[in-house]
Amino acid sequence: MDFFEAQAHAKRRTTRLVELFVLAVLGLILAGYFAAVFGKSQLEGRGRRGRSFVEASGATPAELWQPGLLLAVTASTLAVVGLASLYKWGEFSGGGAAVAESVGARRIEPGSADGQERQLLNVVEEMSIAAGLPVPAVYVLDEEPGINAFAAGLTTSDAVVCVTRGTLAKLTRDELQGVIGHEFSHILNGDMRLNLRLTAIIFGILVLGLAGRGILWSLRGSRVSSSRDGKNSGGVLVAIGAVGGALLVLGYVGYFFGRLIQAAVSRQREFLADASAVQFTRNPGGIAGALKKIGGYALGSDVLGGGTAQLNHFFFAQGFRSNFGGAWATHPPLAERIRAIDPRWDGEMFDPPEVVDVERENFLEAGFAPTLPSRFGPLKPPPRRVPFRPAAVIASVGTLTEAHFADAQKLLAALPGPLRDAARDPARAPALVCALLLSDDPTQRENQLALVAQHAGAETTVALTALLQSTIDNLKSKIQNLSDSRLPLLQLALPALRTLDAAALDRFLATLDELVHADGVVTPFEFALQKMLARQLRLARTPDAASGDIQSFAALSGEIVVVLSALARAGARDESTATAAFTAGTAQLKFIESSLTLLAPTACGLARLDPALDKLATASPVIKQRLLVAAAQTIGADNTITNTEGELFRALAAALDLPVPPLGHAA
């Protein structure tokens, strides 16, 4: 299943989920209506014992149909469930960080001295670079000794990965990589947003039961007097108690069936995520070993914190002991998951050995430095034009392969330590990004540093920017082409940049804009850097802005022709090759192919491309998929890709919120 198919499958699952919950709410409305009819008849004094419902209620079949009462019950139920669900969804509107912090997780700072935490950050960074994703923020549940993890967020730009302390302490690097690969599958397959929707809807149904419990609790100290007035007050109290009891029963019955739906949906996805983790890492023993350790340790994957109960379906493994057998289990049994990965498994779980003290191991022994397969060889500077196969690029979207991992590991290993450390440090990341934009011309560089001093805040100092630039200059002397190294640096810097407050972030983005336009010429790299950072940081702040509403190719034809024309001209040697490249791209858009004409260079420059990408970001997933295919075909018309084409393609993918791995294996 490719990325686009996985996204479409997630959308279909969401539709089915909504249908199931609509049926559940309709059941609540009908049950509430008949309870209201019965309660109303009792208040009117017409009930008799030992009869059918119709007889006991004192109502004739015709009297059972009371449109006004049905409307009132329907409106009340929908209002309670809807408002409660919206309230819970509002709590999650802050994205993955809001979810992680709601359960008491602590964000791991990039400069952490904890060896286990550094290992986790290293694994997450490798996987992000390999997948072409913004590096998620990483959190840890310090008080949880069990082995578990989850991913949360509304988009790939606000996603977080959270693990328990037991996961860090008990898993090897390979096993940890298997668990993180499983969570990255949920990120890439669109499961995170579905998980949040499940949580919000179930909370809405549960609120009915909570309201009923609250009503009954409020009556616990009430007394009824023996006077005539006491009879009236007694009737009122009985009526209130009946309403509370009905809400309690209806709410918890609805919650019970809601949890059944939630568990069934969750179990379906776990086998796919396990298979994806094996595909990503090419190491079945990693995730299988983690599952066996869950089965071998006494605490297993239990999550003890009460605040995590609503997130049970998020986790890597079953986080709680179900009171209803397998009906409420959010994950398949461990044995089934292990057997699906390793059919020859002997049935033995892990036997816990003596604890290893990773703090006293060196960097390599602790597993922080990945062992690269020798067949991949040393990192070599790519030529100006490298082979490019569009079909391979499109197939790689949203996937992870062994080659992607090898590329990511080599890219990270090639980066000097000071640059990696700066990218991970919120105090230095803004300066690093500014340093990447400094010109090679000494005079122009002085002007840019003056702009940094004028516009940047304390978090971006001129001295630090200049120092990092010198490190970049040293790297240039060793690697002629930095295109493949600069983008990973940006990805590494994203978690740190997300921690900036709103004022500092706005100041930082304004400084970048000044640097980009300092010489009056915007290069493709400068454009791609600014577009990627602005888009992904904006989504991290307002994840709901990622929704796609435009369903018509024709409505976006003007923007599409700008993108394809810009790509066709970026790698063209002359007008004929630009025309051939443009034709290869438009052939993928049959609905509007005849209306698209190659634009003149002045009509598809970066100034026109910028607003075009902003509008295309609101396109539906189907349009985004076809546009990316058309863009890849445009670039690959001559079977090669240049640095400029690669940078523009990256900017397009970032604008469309599509994870594109490094293009080194596009051949």
Is 619:388 a contact under the CB 8 Å cutoff? no
| Catalytic-role residue among 144, 183, 459, 645 | 183
The answer to whether the CB of 396 falls within 8 A of the CB of 404 is yes
Is the CA virtual torsion 187, 140, 287, 404 positive or negative?
A: positive
Rounded-to-integer distance, Cα 35 and Cα 517, Å: 69
Q: β-pairing, 137-141 with 160-164?
A: parallel
493 CB neighbour count, 10 Å cutoff: 26
Q: In what order do the strands lie in the sheet with 106-107?
A: 106-107, 137-141, 160-164, 149-152
Helix residue spans in 44-102 (DSSP H): 53-57, 61-64, 67-91, 96-102
Report which of 194, 172, 175 is spatially closest to residue 11, judged by C-alpha positions. Answer: 194
Spatial contact of 406 and 645, defined as CB atoms under 8 Å apart: no
Token couple for 649: 């393609």
Query: For residue 588, which of 624, 544, 559 has the smallest C-alpha distance?
Result: 624
Q: Look at the alpha carbons of 127, 128, 133, 136 in this order and tell me if their dihedral is positive or negative.
A: positive
- C-alpha to C-alpha distance for 237 and 240, rounded to whole angstroms: 5
Query: Which of 371-404 are b and which e, b meaning 16 or more Cβ less than 10 Å from the residue's Cβ?
Result: eeeeeeeebeebeeeeebebeebbebbbbbbbbb
Q: What are the Cα distances from residue 367, in Å, to 8, 121, 176, 210, 364?
A: 37, 12, 10, 48, 5
Name the DSSP letter for residue 594: G
Q: Active-site residue 183, yes or no?
A: yes
Closest among 161, 195, 132 to 657, alpha carbons compared: 132
Beta carbons within 10 angstroms of residue 96's beta carbon: 29
Q: In this structure, what DSSP letter does residue 65 have?
A: -
Query: Mind giving me the DSSP string for 456-522?
Result: --TTS-HHHHHHHHHHHHHHHHH-S--HHHHHHHHHHHHHHHHTS-HHHHHHHHHHHHHHHTTTS--
Let me know: does 283 contact 181? Beta carbons within 8 Å: no
Query: Catalytic residues, which ones?
Result: 183
